Amino acid sequence: MAGIETVKQESVGMDAPIRSRAVRGRVPGAALGLLLAASTASAQVTVNDAWVRASVPAQKTSGAYMTITSRNAARLVGASSQVAAAAEIHETRFQNDIARMRPVLAIALPAGRPVQLKPGGYHLMLLDLKRQLKAGEMVPIVLQVEDASGKPVNVAVSARVAGAASGATPHAEHPAHGH
């Protein structure tokens, strides 16, 4: 995959996305400042065409796919979703016509260049699903992105569940590696 590189992950805070609460119709000055800072940071990263593969009952994994564009150089360093106990960044590589999948620590997000997470390439694995994912529903995902200065930014994504649940997810392409 040209233009996409894997990079070493550094320690990143996994704080929940910032939410604001109006107080008598007003947002206090400090809260407004935090809200505007969060909006500015998340506006630097856009996500398009986010989807998650449907699952069958008792299935424990699924893949999440999307196109991520960062206005400035950044790195995707993690993800989480309330529908799974864990989420990991994975890469599928073909060697001698055999697909092999492995977790990666981070994916570079070059400034202004879309990076695709797609079947057969980089993607997110949702591990230890808490329930079946049914076609048509929306799944919340929080991407943990680190900007060039090392500052963590959470980006909220709503991904539509799509595809026939065949029991085969991208995770089925390789042997287990400790999940």
Res. 124: pLDDT tops 90? yes
CA distance 55 to 133: 5
pTM, two decimals, is: 0.69
pLDDT tens per residue across span 125-171:
999 999 999 999 999 999 999 998 999 999 999 999 998 654 444 44
CA distance 164 to 179: 24
| pLDDT at res. 164 | 67
**Tell me, which fold does domain 46-164 have in CATH?**
Immunoglobulin-like (2.60.40)
